[in-house]
Structure 1
Amino acid sequence: MNLLTRTALLASSLLAPIALASNAALEDTFRAFSHCDDQFFASLHTHSAAWERHVPLESAKNVSWIPVGSRAYVEADSVPLRHAPQVAGVKLLSYFDKSVDLDLLGNYLFWGFVVEGSPEKVAQQLRPLIDRGEQLVPAQGLLARAEVRKDGHWERVASPPGDAPGKSRLERVLILEPDEGSHGTRTRVTCTLQGAVDGAVMAEFRPDIPAEDYPGQPIPAP
C-alpha cells in the first residue's frame, strides 16, 4: 500500500464519523419538520452546523430558518440545497416557503422540500421519519396527513376537507405530491397551515416569521 492510498484511507476513516453525525442531524430535523410546527425551526437551530453545509440559515433567539427571497412571489420562494443532502436515502433538492392570502377563503402557509423520487417511493423511504407516518394516506392523487384545530388541540381527519377553510377553521396538512413538471421524478413534501391563520397562530407555529409579515400586512416587493 503506497503513501497516497494510506493517506486517502486515513482521511476516509476520519471523515466517516463526521458524515454519520451530519446525516443523523439532518434526519433529526426532518423528523421535527414532519410535525409541521415550531419544532422544525428549533431543530434547525440545534443542528445549524450540519444544515449550513447545504443552505444559508438565519437565526433569532432559539430558532433558525432557511430564508427565501419572498414568500409572496413564486420566482423567489425557494432556494436550492448544496451537495445533495439525504435523509433516509432521499435526496433533498430545494427548500420552499410561501404564503398566500385568499381573503375570505383564508390565509395559507406552505413550507417544505422538493426531493428526488416519486411520491410513493419517497413515502416508503421517509415514513419511518414522519411523525404519525401511519396516518399518511392516499387522497386526491397525493398522500396526506390532515388535521383540524378544535378547542386548542389538533384532531385527525381522514382526508383534507374538500372546501376552503375560510377564516373560521384552521387546518394543518402534511402533503407528498408530484412536483409540477417533473413527470414523477420529484416530490414536494409540504407542510401547510391554512384557513384561520392569524398572528397568534403564526407566533406559535411559525416563530421564524416576523410580526410585520403576519396576515393583513402589506406585501413587500421581492
Structure 2
Amino acid sequence: MKDALRLFNVLSYVSPGLGGYDVAFAESLLNGFRKSGSALLTSLVNVKAPGMPADIKDLLRQKGYSVHKTICSLILALTGAASSSHAATLMESLANCDDSFFSAIHDRQNEIKPVAPVIAGHQHHAWFKVPSADNGTLWFTQPLLDSNLTILGYYLQTSNLEALNMGKYYYWGFILKESPEIVMTQLNHLSWSRADDEYYSQALIKDPGEHDWKKNPAAVGSIAPAKGSTEKLLMLSKSGNQTKLLCSIQGDVPPELLYTVRPDLAEEKRP
C-alpha cells in the first residue's frame, strides 16, 4: 500500500487530472505492471488491471510521452522491474539451489498466482502449493515464461534412504517444455557437466564438521555422498517430452541445514 500511495502522490503532482482517483487506482497500475513485466509505454495505456477507468486511459494518451515516461519510470522502480542490477529470474534463483529461489517466488507471486497456487511465508519467502508436501507435481494452468523458457509445472520429491546408509534426498524445481540443450543455452552463465543422460551444475559439498560449502567436481546424482557429508547440485534431465530442472540436497541433511536451503519446509512446520 505504501508503494501505491507514493505512486498516487506523484500521479497527482504530474497530472492534476488524475487527482480525483484514489490509491486503489494506483494499486491497480502497480499490479498491472507486476503482471506484465517490462511492458512500458503502450502497456501503460492498455494495461488490464482491475478498476482502470476508460477515461483514465484516454487521459494518459493525451498527456503524451513526457508524462508516460515519468509514470513508467516510477512504476518500474516501485515494482522492481528497473534496477542497475536486475532482479534474478525464477530460473536464475533456482540455479542457486538456496533460499533465494523462494524469495524470487515471493517477489513474483502476483504474476504466478493466476497459473499456480502460491503460499506466502513470514520471512520474505513463498512457495508453490503442491498436492503432496513431499512428493508430487503441480501442473500450471497455463505455461509461465521465464528466461525465455516455458515452465509447465513444479516438481517435488523426497526420498529417505537412511536404512541403506545413503542418507536423504530432496529434489525441487521446474518441469520445462524446452529440451535440455535449449535450457543450457538459455542458462549459459552456468558451467555444465554430463553424466550418462543427465547434466549437472553448481555442485557443492559440505564435509563433516565444516561450515562452508565448497566445490564438488566429483558429484554424481546417482552415487551417495560420503558418510556424514552433504551435497547440493543443480540437475538437468529429459523426462518424456519435457525437461526437469531440479535442485537436490542429499546425504546427511540435518534440519538446521535443510531449512537454510528449503525455507518452505521450515515455514510449513510453523504452528
Would the aligned equivalents of 2:121 and 2:267 in 1 still touch at CA under 8 Å? no
* 1:22–1:159 CA distance, 2 compared to 1 (3 A): farther
| 1:190-201 to 2 correspondences below 5 Å | 190-201=246-257
| DSSP-derived class of the 1:160 partner | coil
Q: Show structure 2 runs of 5+ residues with no match.
A: 1-41, 49-71
Contact 2:148 2:186 in 1 (8 A): yes
Q: Which residue of 2 aligns with 1:220?
A: none
Within 1, Cα distance between the matches of 2:223 and 2:236? Answer: 20
Shift of 1:126: 2.6
Q: Specify the structure having the higher radius of gyration (Cα).
A: 2
Is the CA contact (8 Å cut-off) linking 1:26 and 1:51 kept in structure 2? no
Q: What is the letter of the counterpart of residue 105 of structure 2?
A: L
Match 2:129 to one of 64, 67, 71? 67
What RMSD in Å do the two structures reach over aligned CA positions? 2.9
**Structure-2-length-normalised TM-score:** 0.62
Map of 2:91 onto structure 1: 30
What secondary structure, in the 3-state scheme, does the structure 2 residue paired with 1:210 have? helix
Q: Does 1:80 align with 2:136?
A: no
Structure 1 moving runs of 4+ over 3 Å = 10-13, 15-18, 21-27, 210-213
- Aligned partner of 2:216 among 154, 157, 162: 157
Cα deviation code 1:62-93 (max 9, x no counterpart): 211002122444xxx11012321112321111
- Contact 1:116-1:186 within 8 A present in 2 as well: yes
- Counterpart of 1:14? 46
Tell me the SS of whatever aligns to 1:197: coil
> Structure 1 residue 53 and structure 2 residue 114: aligned?
yes
- What is the CA-CA distance between 1:38 and the residue it aligns to? 0.7
Which residues of 2 match residues 138-217 of structure 1 at below 5 A?
138-145=194-201, 146-150=203-207, 151-161=210-220, 163-165=223-225, 167-179=227-239, 182=240, 185-210=241-266
Call closer, same or farther: CA 1:70–1:148 in 2, change over 3 Å: same
1:116 aligns with 2:177: yes
Change (3 A) 1:22 1:178: farther
Q: 1:114 to 1:89 in 2, by over 3 A?
A: same
Q: Deviation at 1:22?
A: 10
Question: Comparing 53-62 with 105-114, which one deviates more in the overlay?
Answer: 53-62
What is residue 12 of structure 2 aligned with on the other side?
none
- In structure 1, what is the equivalent of residue 27 of structure 2? none
Query: Offset of 1:164 from its aligned partner?
Result: 1.0
- AA aligned opposite 2:130: V
Name which structure has the greater RCO, CA cutoff 8 Å, separation 6+.
1
Greater helix percent: which structure? 2
- Quick check: 2:89–2:146 contact (8 Å CA) kept in 1? no
The 3 A distance-change label for structure 1 pair 66 and 208 is: same
Aligned length: 190
For 2:81 and 2:192, locate their aligned partners in 1 and report how far apart those are by CA, in whole Å.
24
Contact kept in structure 2, 1:106 and 1:166, CA below 8 Å: no
1:7 maps to: none
Identity %: 23
Q: Deviations over 1:96-137 (max 9, x none)?
A: 112111112101100001101221122112334xxxx0x222
Pairing 1:107–2:168 present: yes
